[in-house]
C-alpha cells in the first residue's frame, strides 16, 4: 500500500510551479505535475526529482478543456499513486486584457484555467483528499484584490479563484484545509520592461522582488504544517498589499 505522501501541482514545468515541485520533493513527497507546452522543461524537472529518489509523473494537459483535462489528470494520479495528500492549483494564463482589447475567447480560456479546472479537479479528487485529511493550496495573485486595468480578465478570474478557495474551505471541512497564496512580483515575465520593474518595486515596502522559492516555502508550510489554517489568503508580496 502506497504510504508516501503525494502532491499534485498544476502548471509546474517552469517558474513558480517548478520551485514548488522541487521543494515538496526535497521534503519527501512523491509528485505528479501538469504542463502544456514545456515538454523539455517537464522532462528536465522529472529527471531532477527522480535524482532525489522520489517518484514523479509528468502529465500533459490542456486546461482550456476543463472536463477532459481534470478527468485525465485525476485518473492518472490515482492510477499511479492510489492516493493524494496535497493539491496545488498553480496553472495560470498571464496575459494583458484591457477593457478595450479583451475578448470573450480570452476570458473563457482564463476562466477555464483559473476556475473551472481547479473546481473539477477538487470534485474528482475529493474522496482521496478527504481520506488523507489533505490540503488544497490555490495560487491566486495580488491582482485578485488590487486589479490592474491592463490585466482586467486575469485579475477577475484570479479573484474568482480566491472566492472559490473560501467556498471550498467551508465545503470540505473538517477533513481538508483549503488556502490561497497571493504572490506579488516573485518572478518577472522575461519581456517585462526594466523601468516598470523599478516603478513597481518603489511601492514595495521591502524594496525588492520575491522569488519562486519564497512561494514554494509557504506551500511547503501549508502542505506539512498549518493543520489549523483554512480559508485564508497568505500574501507573499513584500508588503505591496498594504502600501
Question: Is 192 noted as a catalytic residue in this protein?
Answer: no
Distance, in Å, from the CA atom of 231 to the CA atom of 225, rounded to the nearest integer, reads: 15
Predicted pLDDT at 203: 87
Q: Which of 35, 94, 151, 154 is catalytic?
A: 154
Report whether pLDDT(3) > 80.
Answer: no
> Cβ distance 176 to 133 under 8 Å?
yes
Predicted pLDDT at 1: 42
Give me the percent of the chain exceeding a pLDDT of 70.
99
pTM beyond 0.85, yes or no: yes
Distance, in Å, from the CA atom of 4 to the CA atom of 121, rounded to the nearest integer, reads: 21
For the chain, which domains are there?
6-242 (3.40.50.720)
How confident is the model over 55-64, as pLDDT tens digits? 999 999 999 9
Predicted pLDDT at 223: 97
Higher pLDDT, 196 or 11: 11
Instruction: Please give the average per-residue pLDDT across 164-169, as a whole number.
Output: 98
Predicted pLDDT at 196: 81
How confident is the model over 81-104, as pLDDT tens digits? 999 999 999 999 999 999 999 999
Distance, in Å, from the CA atom of 156 to the CA atom of 154, rounded to the nearest integer, reads: 6
Q: What angle do CA 234, 235, 241 make, to 5 degrees?
A: 145
242 pLDDT tier (thresholds 50, 70, 90): confident
Residue 139 grid coordinates: 495560487
Residue 156 grid coordinates: 477577475
- CA nearest neighbour of 210 among 221, 197, 222: 197
Distance, in Å, from the CA atom of 84 to the CA atom of 31, rounded to the nearest integer, reads: 10
Distance, in Å, from the CA atom of 122 to the CA atom of 136, rounded to the nearest integer, reads: 8
Give me the percent of the chain exceeding a pLDDT of 90.
81
Distance, in Å, from the CA atom of 181 to the CA atom of 221, rounded to the nearest integer, reads: 11
How confident is the model over 186-238, as pLDDT tens digits? 877 777 788 888 888 888 898 888 899 999 999 999 999 999 999 999 999 89
User: 77-86, 109-118, 131-140, 197-206: which range is least confident on average?
Assistant: 197-206
Instruction: Please give the average per-residue pLDDT across 160-176, as a whole number.
Output: 98
Amino acid at each position: 500500500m502506497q504510504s508516501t505522501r503525494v502532491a499534485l501541482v498544476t502548471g509546474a514545468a517552469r517558474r513558480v510551479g517548478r520551485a514548488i515541485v522541487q521543494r515538496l520533493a526535497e521534503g519527501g513527497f512523491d509528485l505528479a505535475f501538469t504542463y502544456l507546452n514545456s515538454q523539455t522543461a517537464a522532462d528536465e524537472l522529472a529527471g531532477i526529482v527522480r535524482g532525489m529518489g522520489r517518484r514523479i509523473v509528468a502529465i500533459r494537459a490542456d486546461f482550456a478543456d476543463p472536463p477532459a483535462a481534470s478527468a485525465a489528470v485525476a485518473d492518472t494520479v490515482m492510477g499511479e499513486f492510489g492516493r493524494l495528500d496535497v493539491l496545488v492549483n498553480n496553472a495560470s494564463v498571464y496575459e494583458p486584457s484591457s477593457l478595450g482589447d479583451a475578448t470573450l475567447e480570452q476570458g473563457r480560456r482564463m476562466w477555464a484555467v483559473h476556475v473551472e479546472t481547479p473546481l473539477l479537479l477538487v470534485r474528482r479528487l475529493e474522496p482521496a483528499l478527504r481520506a488523507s485529511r489533505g490540503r488544497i493550496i490555490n495560487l491566486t495573485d495580488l491582482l485578485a484584490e488590487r486589479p490592474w486595468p491592463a490585466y482586467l480578465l486575469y485579475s477577475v478570474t484570479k479573484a474568482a479563484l480566491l472566492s472559490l478557495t473560501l467556498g471550498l474551505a467551508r465545503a470540505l471541512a473538517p477533513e481538508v484545509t483549503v488556502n490561497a497564496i497571493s504572490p506579488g512580483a516573485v518572478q518577472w515575465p522575461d519581456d517585462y520592461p526594466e523601468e516598470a520593474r523599478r516603478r513597481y518595486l518603489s511601492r514595495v515596502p521591502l524594496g525588492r522582488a520575491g522569488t519562486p522559492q519564497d512561494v514554494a516555502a509557504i506551500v511547503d508550510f501549508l502542505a506539512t504544517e498549518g493543520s489549523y489554517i483554512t480559508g485564508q489568503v497568505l500574501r507573499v508580496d513584500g508588503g505591496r498589499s498594504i502600501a
